[in-house]
Structure 1
Amino acid sequence: MSRTKSSRQHAANVLGALSLVVADRMNTAVEAIATLGPSAPAALVAMHEFLDGGSVTQLSSVLGLTHSGTVRLVDRLVAKGLVDRVGAQDGRAVCVVLTQRGRRTAARILQTREKSLASALSALSTDEIDNLAAALDTMLTTVTLASIEERSAPTNDRPQPWLCRLCDFAACGRSEGNCPVNNAVTTSNRS
């Protein structure tokens, strides 16, 4: 077996293991804040970052949940005082908006997420972090383009959650044009 193939297999394997550990730790930490299941933190953060005042259908698309599953999640968030339902301007739809409590909870989720992820980077030097960030940007671009292609496939009947549903837009530099996911989507939409 060649060294390149072995190195690639090793990298893929350790990436898979690390991804699971990092995701499990992050999810456990943020789910403890919302206490409403695994989709609640992503719903609150998505609303905090870009979807406040969106419809249940839009939230369903972001989370990759069925419409009925999203309605049940919104019911739980309303009962907990984290979101409110308000009538849309056209009178036919309902928008979901964060309450002040929901906004504070989303901010706590983002802070906890950042702390959890930062702990995984703690053993790396500044140069190693810079190199990792560049590699991760490249990987996210590739994954984003593949996700766009999968979404457009006619046989894809299961909703796919958005990659940025639990992202801190300020940390990724989205408004400065540094978000690899947004950049890939924007470039893809121009094609």
Structure 2
Amino acid sequence: MSRTPSSRQHAANVLGALSLAIADRMNTAVEAIAALGPSAPAALAAMHEFLDGTSVTQLSSVLGLTHSGTVRLVDRLVAQGLAERVGAQDGRAVSVVLTQDGRSTAEQILRAREQSLASALSALPPDEIDNLAAALDAMLTAVTQSRAEDRATRTTDRPQPWLCRLCDFAACGRSEGNCPVNNANTTSTSRGR
């Protein structure tokens, strides 16, 4: 016996299918540029946008990888000439920084990501884009707050990757205070989460 789905059920199902289709298209595009595994594009984009000169520990947190997995990823980035390890003057810390080739590759990744996402948006007339953006901001805010609650009550050590690990910070308006993830995290932190 078939049932008629509610509008919410239909929207959730279609959103799930669309999310997978967009993620598949985007991942295929960005992984073709940095053919070093699925985490390399996010590592390069994150270091380009907000994390250059980071520690392996911080990069591990952003990517949601184990420390050893991040060390192996950094090894691959260094071997390809996309990043380098730079020791601190005191010799106790090592930072990972992008090389010029790494910056160029990260910029290619961000362009490929943008093109993948723009192709999905091309189905909408221009006057519907603002409404979609507002709805997506609201949904992303809710997801971010839920993740913050999960982190606060988490009993596992499984890393949770950052939502912004592959973002274009200029496009999200982070510096103007328009990033829904940053705003939700700021709100969650101020509430003690």
**TM-score of the aligned structures, taking structure 2 as reference length:** 0.95
What corresponds to 1:173 in structure 2? 173
Q: For residues 89 and 163 of structure 2, what CA distance do their matches in structure 1 show?
A: 29
SS in 1 for 2:163: coil
Identity %: 81
Q: Distance in 1 between matches of 2:140 and 2:89?
A: 36
SS at match of 2:96: strand
Kept in 2, the 8 Å contact 1:173–1:179? The answer is yes
- Runs of at least 4 residues of structure 1 off by over 6 A? none
Counterpart of 1:185 in structure 2 is 185
Deviations 1:11-50 (A, max 9, x none): 0000000000000000000000001010000000000000
Q: Deviations over 1:64-104 (max 9, x none)?
A: 00000000000000000000001135532210000000000
The alignment's C-alpha RMSD in Å is 1.5
Residue pairs, 1:29-48, within 5 angstroms:
29-48=29-48
Would the alpha carbon gap of residues 89 and 188 (structure 1) be closer, same or farther in structure 2, given more than 3 Å must change? farther
Q: Distance in 1 between matches of 2:73 and 2:87?
A: 18
Aligned to 2:140: 140
Q: Which secondary structure does the structure 1 equivalent of 2:85 belong to?
A: strand
Query: Partners in 2 of 1:79 and 1:154 — Cα distance?
Result: 36
**How big is each residue's C-alpha offset from its partner over 1:128-187, in whole Å with a ceiling of 9 and x where there is no partner?**
111110000000000000111111224132000000000000000000000000011111
In structure 2, the residue matched to 1:69 is 69
Contact 1:150–1:156 (8 Å) recurs in 2: no
Q: Quick one: which amino acid aligns to residue 142 of structure 1?
A: A
C-alpha distance in 1, partners of 2:160/2:46? Answer: 15
The residue aligned with 1:115 is 115
Q: What pairs with 1:39-118 in structure 2 (closer than 5 Å)?
A: 39-118=39-118
CA distance in 2, matches of 1:41, 1:146: 26
**Where in structure 2 are there 5+ consecutive unaligned residues?**
none
Q: Which amino acid aligns with 1:166?
A: L
AA paired with 2:40? A
Structure 1: 5+ residue runs without aligned partners? none
Aligned residues: 190
Question: What TM-score comes out, normalization by structure 1 length?
Answer: 0.96
1:111 deviates by: 0.4
Match of 1:11 in 2: 11
Structure 2 SS opposite 1:165:
helix
